[in-house]
Amino acid sequence: MKKIFACALAVTALFVSCSKSEKPAPVVADVKEENVTASIPTQEEQKGVYTYRTISSSPSTWNPTDWSMGNEGTVLDFTASGLYDFVMNETKDGYEVFCEMAAELPADVTKEYAGNEKYGIPAGAESGYAWKYNLIQNAVWEDGTKINADTYEYTFKQFLNPDMKNLRSSSFCQDNFAIANAYDYYSGKEGVEWSDVGFIKNDEFSFTLILKNSLSPFFVQYNSTSIIPVHPKLYEENKSKKGQIVKSSYGTSPEKYSSCGPYRISEFQPDKEMKFERNEKWYGWTDNKHEGQYAVTNIQLSYISEHSTALSLFLRGELDDVALDVNDLKVYGNSEYRLTTPESYTWKYSFNIDKEALKKHESKGINKSILSYTDFRHGISLALDRQKYVDTITPASDVGFGLINYMYVADPESGELYRNTPQAQKVLCDLYLSDKVENITGYNPEAASFYITKAYKAALAAGDISEGDVVQIDYHTYDTNTANMRSVAFLEDALKAVALNTPLEGRIVVKQVTDENYYENMRRGRVDCAMTGWGGAAYDPYGIMWCYCDPGALNEYGFDPESEMLEIDLSEFAETGGLKIQKSFYDWYRALCEGEYSSAESSVRNTILSQMEKGLLSYYNMIPIRYLNSTELISQRTVMGSETFVNSLVGYGGMRFMSFSMDDAEWDKYCDENNRQLKY
């Protein structure tokens, strides 16, 4: 499904992935009674039932127009079908594009609209601008309501509704898949009506999209996987005004949502679990195209935050996978049931840099506003021994220095990774003062001491700190699991070490604060520091800039991408006019993804992207520390579609090709025979 094609926030703790679940490993802890109070089916009831049981965290919404967190995307993975999906091929060494809600691949009909002034298509255009979609005619919602071109027109109207300001609007009005005139409509530009937007209903089961810029078939198919319809009646019924905007509570409970995918929500207890069962109305069960797929009949997501509890349940056979932490790897590192999956997420320390917001949370003798000083944050970056962090807290991950990790593909045809381009390598070497990327450590305690001292003296002179003040950094985490607490301690130890023999010796404290809504609170200036992560859309490294340059997506309070300027030297490229060009970060993002550089040569686009990355990192309000690799144990009955990781598009085959060697009754019996103490 479409889980890998949209940018998503990583949630909770340090063992989170948006690919299946958030699962935050070698003593067996007692199972908390609150997690085992659900009625347990009898073995007779479990015959022929294959339930995938894993852990997650409770979603706030799974509304296709407004979701943001990985756990929210997980619900859509199970319950919604896109127009297409990238699936594992028969030889299990690559992908193929599979038609889902679309009857066939999109047809390029650009020539029919060439020279159309309304949509701004060049007169000589022959390809890439206009794409016709023919829909299957047997798709219905779980309540039996037909899904047709009207459904998609209503859906696009809601994504782009100027009164709603939905988070996912950027997918269709700002990124490389921007629809013609969509941004003007979404922005409420005077005189621009829905009829001006590049959506054309051809007939009951066909529509055409007119794009602002020309795209290749690959990127049209790639972006079309994320076109998820909403149920018009339910979406409309659940609208209400929130301040100056309108919002729909669609996708916040089973009653306010309808499935168009292989599974439907059968039960949701926000503080406990979400259960899914097969959506019997899904077209895939009867279209003769999905044989051998979706063998799992039921899904149970349990909301468990304690890693020891999750591991205990797994070893008892009550979960089908569990993430491993640094201690678990000492015991299960060589297990034949261990899987390691490279992920597109970059984890970073995020800081509030707004002086006034920080001062509001100061008290007598407690200083926070020193975080607004770039030199202080630069010192924090240099104080971090990233290799030590990975080795002692997240050993499956890789050390991270950039905002974009090694999973991002700059050229789908050649497979070239963005991180391996000369432009991307140069900016990291320049930023970390290294001759080669492989020599970068990012760790320089002497320089760190210099920068925090420099910042302290400047703050003292400005009256922003007193000589006796303690610098207290409130570090917000979702919960107090072991990995989170180690991350807090790591930051505090690193800062205390570089503060030795400086005026700040013994005067820096990092305080853990439990905050289940820390992402939202960060955006409101209520958090000093948190660990945050963005990932997804691994075949579009340019579009990932939305996460850092769009005010609606940015986590780090106090940085305004619409006003902060960046000059990029493009003088070596004749096609750009050979100039040094200055724009705001937001305008560079739009120019790169939907504006004048969206179709530029890759060398130009990579130069712009790398300079944007360098510019953002130079503020030190987002300090990368690791690139996520998830490592987990899968149950002894789990059979993945592929025994090896194929690529970022299909992983090990995903839910589509996962199966179990035993049904729930057989598995339950097997676990009992082994005294609920399974060996891995």
- What average pLDDT does the segment 199-223 reach? 97
Q: Which residue has tokens 């970060």?
A: 585
How far is it, in rounded angstroms, from Cα 309 to Cα 300?
16
Q: What is the CATH number of the domain that holds 77?
A: 3.40.190.10
The whole-number pLDDT of residue 42 equals 66
Shared-domain flag, residues 564 and 669: no
pTM of the model: 0.85
pLDDT over threshold 50, residue 384: yes
Chain centre distance of CA 354: 25
The whole-number pLDDT of residue 11 equals 52
- 333-357: per-residue pLDDT in tens? 999 999 999 999 999 999 999 999 9
Shared-domain flag, residues 433 and 329: no
Shared-domain flag, residues 647 and 621: no
How far is it, in rounded angstroms, from Cα 400 to Cα 72?
26
3-state secondary structure 147-161: CCHHHHHHHHHHHCC
What DSSP state is assigned to residue 630? E
Shared-domain flag, residues 111 and 49: no
In a domain, 249, yes or no: no
Range of the domain at 442: 344-627
Shared-domain flag, residues 496 and 368: yes
Q: Could you give the number of structural domains in the chain?
A: 3
The whole-number pLDDT of residue 30 equals 28
Q: 235: helix, coil or strand?
A: helix
In a domain, 421, yes or no: yes
Least confident of 139-143, 488-492, 537-541: 537-541
Q: Could you please report the per-residue DSSP string of 56-106?
A: E---S---TTT--BHHHHHHHHHH---SEEEEE-TTSSSEEEEESSBSSPP
- 284-329: per-residue pLDDT in tens? 999 999 999 999 999 999 999 899 999 999 999 999 999 999 999 9
Q: Could you please report the per-residue DSSP string of 300-359?
A: EEEE---HHHHHHHHHTTS-SEEE--HHHHHHHTT-TTEEEEEEEEEEEEEE---HHHHH
Single residue among 228, 248, 274 that ends a domain in this structure: 228
pLDDT over threshold 90, residue 482: no
Q: How, if at all, do strands 622-634 and 338-351 pair? A: antiparallel
Residue 8 pLDDT class (50, 70, 90 cuts)? low
**Two tokens, residue 406:** 């090694």
Residue 22 pLDDT class (50, 70, 90 cuts)? very low
* Share of residues in the chain with pLDDT > 70 (%): 93
Q: 243: helix, coil or strand?
A: coil
In a domain, 250, yes or no: no
- 581-630: per-residue pLDDT in tens? 999 999 999 999 999 999 899 999 999 999 999 999 999 999 999 999 99
pLDDT over threshold 70, residue 576: no
In a domain, 223, yes or no: yes
In a domain, 679, yes or no: no
- 54-89: per-residue pLDDT in tens? 999 999 999 999 999 899 999 999 999 999 999 999
Q: Could you please report the per-residue DSSP string of 181-227?
A: THHHHHTT-TT--GGGSSEEEEETTEEEEEBSS---HHHHHHHHTT-
- 80-120: per-residue pLDDT in tens? 999 999 999 999 999 999 999 999 999 999 999 999 999 99
Q: How long a stretch of residues is the chain? A: 680
Q: What is the CATH number of the domain that holds 552?
A: 3.10.105.10
Closest Cα partner for 614 from 579, 566, 573, 572?
A: 566
What DSSP state is assigned to residue 377? H
Shared-domain flag, residues 129 and 163: yes
In a domain, 427, yes or no: yes
How far is it, in rounded angstroms, from Cα 200 to Cα 195?
9
In a domain, 606, yes or no: yes
Q: What is the CATH number of the domain that holds 158?
A: 3.90.76.10
Shared-domain flag, residues 549 and 617: yes
Shared-domain flag, residues 659 and 537: no
In a domain, 592, yes or no: yes
Residue 562's identity, in one-letter code, is E
- 385-434: per-residue pLDDT in tens? 999 999 999 999 999 999 999 999 999 989 999 999 999 999 999 999 99
Average pLDDT of the chain is 92
Shared-domain flag, residues 560 and 590: yes
The whole-number pLDDT of residue 175 equals 85
- Give backbone dihedrals phi and psi of 514, rounded to 5 degrees, phi first: -75, 130
Shared-domain flag, residues 452 and 589: yes
Q: 516: helix, coil or strand?
A: coil
Closest Cα partner for 84 from 95, 69, 97?
A: 97
Shared-domain flag, residues 388 and 502: yes
Shared-domain flag, residues 83 and 117: no
